[in-house]
Chain A
Amino acid sequence: MIFFKEVILGFRYWVIASGWCFFRRNVNDRQDDIERAKTEGKELTKEEKQRLRKEKKQQKKNKEKKDEKASQGSEKEKKSGSLAAAAPQPPAKSTTVKTPSAVPAPAPVSVPSSLEAPAPVDKPSKTKAELKAERRARQEAERASKPGKKGEPGQQAASGKQKAPPSELQPVIKRLPEHIQVDNPDVLKKLAKKLERQQVMGLNPTKKIPLRLDYGYKVSLFSHLHQYSRKAPLTQQLSIPSTVIHPAVVRLGLQYSQGIVAGSNARSVALLHAFKQVIRDYITPPNEELSRDLVNKLKPYISFLNQCRPLSASMGNAIKYVKKEISNISSQCKEEEAKSKLLNCIEWYIKEKIILAAKAIAESSIEKINNEDVILVYGCSSLVNHILFEAFEKGRKFRVIVVDSRPRLEGREALRRLVQRGISCTYVLISAVSYILPEVSKVFLGAHALLANGYVMSRVGTSQIALVARAFNVPVLVCCETYKFCERVQTDSFVSNELDDPDDLMVTRNGKTQLESWQEVPSLGLLNLVYDVTPPDFVDLVITELGMIPCTSVPVVLRVKNVDQ
């Protein structure tokens, strides 16, 4: 009797298994072909089976997530640790964008390793013999029906991805964030739709956040990024007493796009200030909860600010924090109480993460500044300036060399602030940095963000300075608060960057502007990059409020932060 039951159970398993196989076969037909072709007649090794299972699961997930993809904000994608891999390219992109050939090569190699890294999922055990038999039968059938199908047993998944016809979806897709797919018209359409959907509920549905259009010819290497003109502000398309967007946020967006508020810290502080005003003016609509509704109210504002100027990593972290605090408000809380709690949280964040952090960093850096030091700084970093002021107050005797670069010429502002305090300074342009470096004893650099692989993202020109300093054996110290640490990973300055207004590169001397009609010259493109990444080999020390850490310890800090929260 028992034997009979087992047979029945086994038979059921077999039926289910084969049915599942058939189902899977129909769904993943093309997918299986590659695998089938690779392993003609041979038994699938354990690794290959694992890989197969993982890929198929990923595919299912991707198909589900494709619908949700449009509704997810771009900032979420930015923050998620997505590999900036160029390998999984949608077909349109691969024909238009000529990404550097070096990028696809390392990316696919890293992708399969990341495939193996996550633990294999435990699937219900099907009898392997039945599976094998089924697959072999299918293989024979398909091989007979499809001639000319090439496949080698030893082909690796990586090269398979590279050589696979572009019309097929790659098995594991690391989603590219939307803000670096500007040259893909589908992504642009999605962005427009998203903005449409992000109207403020309850108001006239025709009022939506406008889409800012790109300006001018973009250099082909950077055609995947947005390039806006300062003369075409987003407010042109908004109504004047702005009702869709809170006036404080409109003002902030204007200040961002005109460069009045520039610099990572300043932008974050201004953003939190605007959020405070939004929260103060917020009234919970009936039948809504503050914790959910306020977050929805903030979404269109964030999209608006993102269009005025792409969000910085520090702003992204601040927004994450505010959203988390809002969603943590319990529903029992009365509105006034909730609002005051939120305002206090924002004030606490600024106080601790920006003001006190700067103080702590200044204290630790002062140990590194000795008398008779010659310190080189680049551009205008609020934190580095603060450190130098504090050191000067404490009585250290040093002199500063300010290195500046076009077109922003922020070094002039740094120079003014330092000289006003009484610090003796020298001013050079970046082209003279190798001339001046023999005099320098250390280099202090500020950072826009610190990436999870230890790279430092900062104003364009920073990596140049770090490189030359390394060549001269001058120590490079980067000062950065921990709230600027970002989970993104980037190894080059091309994939994710910001393009500023190309008209800034034009210079008028003696009434003549040589580049005035640059748009008419077909072979001329103006490129105004804002950021670049410095590899951790060039950075000797990162000074944060948690202490002085090497560049490679950034992921540790991030992990600790996540655990804390």
Chain B
Amino acid sequence: MELQAVLMAAGGGSRMTDLTYNTPKPMLPVGNKPLMWYPLNLLERVGFEEVIVITTKEVQKMMSTDPKMKQEVKMKLDVVCIQEDGDMGTADALRYIQQKIKTDVLVVSCDLISDVALHEVVDLFRAHNATLAMLMSKAHEFTETVPGQKGKKKTAEQRDFVGVDQSGKRLLFMANEADLEDGLSVRKSILRKHPRMHIKTGLVDAHLYCLKKAVVDFLTENKSISSIRGELVPLLVRKQFSKTLSKQKMKDDSEDQTQKKNDELLISSRDESLLQLAQERSCWNDHHGDMSEAYHGGKLRCYVHIMDQGLCYRVNTLAAYIEANRLVSQLLSLRCSCMSLFFSFTINIAMNVQLKCLCSIQGSVICSNAVIGRGADLKYCLVGSGQRIEPEGEKRQNKQAEIKLGSEISVLNFFSIQ
């Protein structure tokens, strides 16, 4: 087997507590389907047959009762439950399921909605025998107003500085603004090997990682790493250029912690000598202009695929959630059947929606089985399924940018996709 898929669905949704106070994030409905359906659909489309889902007991219960999950997801879901206390990071979760992992892993986060051609990421992983391959996307500005927030508030952005090489594929540098107190410092060894580095800040990390099995073993040894994105990935990126890594022979009696770590990460496959011979005889080099061989002799390589077209959303804030709802129709090409009464553009309407007359709906998403009473004026709203918007006596004005979700999410109806 080549790759095992792991879906991280235990997150709390700390940045959208308005929505997640009674529904766990993975089961939030986005366009009639629970949020975690989207990454599962992505994996299924590409050809995975089994996924290990790491989640909480509550979500597992909801998954088992949700008809959508049972009918549409044809893959075998191996659900692993962890405690809800929130102390477990993604790396801790990987460590927890270390026994199940037999080959390289593809870690996906449950809040990823994307139509990426996954083979682009995995091809980098395969072709260059990389330790890590991840997906990033050019960030889109959220133009719509977010309910509950007055005006456009730019939160103190924790920007990510991502450094890539000339080809745009090799990951050279990754740091978060929070970790850079004195400024961005780049090691000379990196610049000597890759004199041209492009540093990008406007990228969204899709939290989709291809990791070698050796990394999972490495995690079991190093229990201090708890988050993949926060700690493991920057560590791996830094390790590419670590001095000790380029040396093949390690001193056996060395007790140095860093050397031990490097030892484990050095991926030695069987017939390493044959691979070495093939590389020597091949007339290919990934860089030109200096005297070193391909990959500068480094064994640890990190690659990134940066999407500039296509959908890639991480639904972890309110704004992202609304945006995702609106755009999900592109992903799924929902069929709308409704009677049109005063409609304007960009509306996504599901089936079985009853619209009484004199409605004015603009830029909203209305899920199935909703009943919009007469005289309702909805602007940029998201109406969940089974909701009723009723006129109260006189016209109920302008529900501006509101989100109404039903508490009975299990009653979500869906219709055919794609």
Contacts and interface: CB of A to CB of B under 8 A. Distances in A.
A269 B282 CA distance: 10
A260 B271 contact: no
Interface in A389-442: 410, 412-414, 416, 419-420
A260 B128 contact: yes
A310 B19 CA distance: 55
B282 A262 contact: yes
Nearest to B117: A236
A250 B277 contact: no
B118 A240 contact: yes
B281 interface: yes
Contact of A272 (B127, B274, B284, B285): B274
B90 to A, nearest CB: 21
B279 interface: yes
A240 B278 CA distance: 25
B278 A261 contact: yes
Contacts of B277: 269, 350, 355
Nearest to B126: A251
B282 A266 contact: yes
A235 interface: yes
Interface residue tally on A, bucketed by range: 35 or more
Contact of A265 (B127, B274, B281): B281
Given A233-B123, A239-B46, A273 B274 contact: yes
Interface string A218-259: 000000000000000101101111110001001100110011
A37 interface: no
Nearest to B124: A254
A267 B277 CA distance: 10
Interface string B102-135: 0000100000000001110011001111000000
Contact of B282 (A235, A263, A414, A419): A263
A262 B284 contact: yes
A379 interface: yes
Contacts of A269: 274, 277-278, 281
Nearest to B285: A413
A180 interface: no
Interface residues of B, number: 34
Interface in A41-76: none
Contacts of B106: 240
B285 A350 contact: no
A355 B128 CA distance: 25
B282 A276 contact: no
Contacts of B186: none
A412 B285 CA distance: 10
A239 B126 contact: no
B338 interface: no
Contacts of A243: 1, 47
A258 B286 CA distance: 11
A262 B283 contact: yes
Contacts of B4: 241
Contacts of A276: 271, 274
Contacts of B280: 266, 382
A254 B126 contact: yes
Nearest to B283: A380
B3 interface: yes
B278 A241 contact: no
B275 A260 contact: no
A443 B126 CA distance: 38
Nearest to A276: B271
Contacts of A240: 2-3, 46-48, 106, 118-119, 122
Contacts of A236: 117, 119
A380 B293 CA distance: 14
Interface string A506-533: 0000000000000000000000000000
A238 B47 contact: yes
A233 B284 CA distance: 19
A437 to B, nearest CB: 23
B288 interface: yes
A350 B280 CA distance: 14
A34 interface: no
A270 interface: yes
A382 B281 contact: yes
Contacts of B278: 261, 266, 269-270, 273
Q: Which of A265, A272, A276, A350 has the most CB of B within 10 A?
A: A265
A27 B281 CA distance: 56
B291 interface: yes
Q: Which of A238, A260, A410, A416 has the most CB of B within 10 A?
A: A260
6 contacts: A240-B48, A240-B106, A240-B118, A240-B119, A260-B282, A261-B278
Interface of A: 233, 235-236, 238-243, 247, 250-251, 254-255, 258-263, 265-267, 269-270, 272-273, 276-277, 280, 350, 355, 379-382, 410, 412-414, 416, 419-420
